[in-house]
């Protein structure tokens, strides 16, 4: 890690806790960790949400699959340490192999590289009962100690919320931009603005917002039902001046493919526009 000495350090202003420091001096401290020597990652995209369970992993996986289908080398870092779901979605249940160069990611059927805490635990169903700094340390090691090789795009399935662990990830990994995932209710309850404001505070560009669980399509008549209320994505994106990346319905085909570990077989087109946009914004 590059050490930049903070001017406030040692003065009466300094509490020793840079994360809560309001001094302009903290901007001089660079917490970015060094990527593993055997890896080269061109673009890093964080997939974030203001709270858990809104489909952040689903969107991270979908975008990774779409960029992989375009012919890019893609990886997914599952930084949702307490609720890892990426390996299961892709049917990966092996343990990651350690080498002198670092830990090797596992690969999906179509060659997406994956690293997740579930690939390192003896029992994948064991709860991760770790304090924030330990969880943050594990995510940092996914960056420093995993042999990702050459990647065009790395998607980080970020820890949910705006607490200690996402803060560590934002500070330690050079993220090029974030995709915010919300549900229609989050858009109303302003949870999405917390995720947006955190990215802005960390000086990370917001690529856009995906509204997940936006509606359900009736299999008989095709009518779209807004079971979580009317969509507000356009007005919020307008207000925040960010792109609408897409709306995903609750789609039983997607959840059953996740449950069966066959997510790469999905033929959903909901995020085609989002994948194109990421490709053109970060090429």
- Please report, as ranges, the residues that interact with ligand ADP according to CB under 6 A: 49, 52-58, 83, 85, 212-213, 248, 250-251, 254-255, 258
* Spatial distance between the Cα atoms of 63 and 54, rounded to a whole number of angstroms: 16
Q: State the nearest-atom distance from the C-beta of 20 to ligand ADP, in Å.
A: 27
Nearer to ligand ADP, 120 or 268 (CB): 268
Q: CA distances (Å), 214 to each of 6, 198, 232, in order?
A: 45, 24, 10
Would you state the structure tokens that stand for residue 124, as one six-digit string? 């994948």
CA-based radius of gyration for the chain: 19
**In the complex, minimum distance from the CB of residue 62 to ligand ADP, in angstroms, rounded to a whole number:** 9
What is the token pair recorded at 39? Answer: 């890896």
CB of 214 to ligand ADP, least distance (A): 8
Taking the least distance from each CB to ligand ADP, the nearer of 84 and 105 is 84
Q: How far is the CB of 144 from ligand ADP (least distance, A)?
A: 24
Query: Which residue lies nearer to ligand ADP by CB, 54 or 278?
Result: 54
Q: Output the smallest distance, CB 124 to ligand ADP, in A.
A: 15
Query: Tokens standing for 16?
Result: 């020793």
Both tokens of residue 202?
A: 């960390």
CB of 148 to ligand ADP, least distance (A): 21
Name which of 8 and 248 has its Cβ closer to ligand ADP. 248
* DSSP states along 138-195: HHHHHHHSB---EEEEEEEEPPSSSSHHHHHHHHHS---EEEEEE-HHHHHHTHHHHH
Q: Which is nearer to ligand ADP, 213 or 274 (CB)?
A: 213
Judging by DSSP bridges, how do beta strands 74-78 and 40-48 pair with one another?
unpaired
CA distances from 79 to 56, 70, 74, 86, 170 (A): 11, 24, 16, 10, 11
- Dihedral sign for Cα atoms in the order 139, 101, 75, 58: negative
> Shortest distance, CB of residue 186 to ligand ADP, whole angstroms?
10
The DSSP output letter for 94 is S
Beta bridge partners of 151: 41
Q: What 3-state class would DSSP assign to 236?
A: helix
> What's the distance, Cα to Cα, between the start and end of the chain in Å?
27
| Nearer residue to ligand ADP within complex by CB, 10 or 163 | 163
CB of 101 to ligand ADP, least distance (A): 30
When the beta carbons of 207 and 248 are compared against ligand ADP, the nearer one is 248
Closer to ligand ADP at the Cβ: 49 or 171? 49
């Amino acid at each position: 890690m590059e050490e930049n000495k903070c001017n406030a350090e040692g003065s009466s202003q300094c509490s020793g806790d840079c994360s809560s420091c309001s001094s302009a001096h903290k901007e001089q401290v660079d917490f970015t960790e060094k990527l593993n020597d055997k890896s080269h990652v061109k673009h890093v995209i964080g997939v974030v949400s203001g709270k858990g369970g809104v489909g952040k992993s689903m969107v991270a996986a979908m975008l990774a699959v779409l960029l992989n289908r375009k012919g890019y080398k893609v990886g997914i870092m599952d930084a949702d340490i307490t609720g890892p779901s990426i390996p299961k979605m892709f049917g990966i249940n092996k343990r990651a192999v350690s080498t002198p160069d670092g830990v090797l990611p596992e690969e999906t059927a179509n060659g997406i590289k994956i690293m997740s805490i579930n690939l390192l635990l003896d029992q994948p169903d064991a709860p991760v009962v770790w304090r924030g700094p330990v969880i943050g340390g594990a995510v940092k090691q996914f960056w420093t100690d995993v042999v990702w090789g050459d990647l065009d795009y790395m998607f980080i399935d970020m820890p949910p919320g705006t607490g200690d662990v996402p803060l560590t990830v934002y500070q330690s990994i050079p993220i090029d931009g974030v995709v915010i995932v919300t549900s229609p209710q989050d858009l109303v309850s302003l949870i999405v603005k917390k995720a947006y404001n955190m990215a802005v505070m960390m000086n990370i560009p917001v690529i856009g917002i995906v509204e997940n669980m936006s509606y359900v399509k009736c299999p008989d008549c095709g009518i779209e039902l807004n079971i979580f209320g009317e969509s507000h994505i356009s007005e919020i994106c307008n207000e925040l001046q960010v792109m609408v990346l897409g709306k995903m319905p609750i789609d039983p085909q997607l959840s059953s493919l996740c449950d069966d570990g066959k997510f790469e077989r999905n033929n959903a087109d909901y995020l085609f526009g989002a994948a194109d946009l990421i490709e053109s914004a970060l090429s």
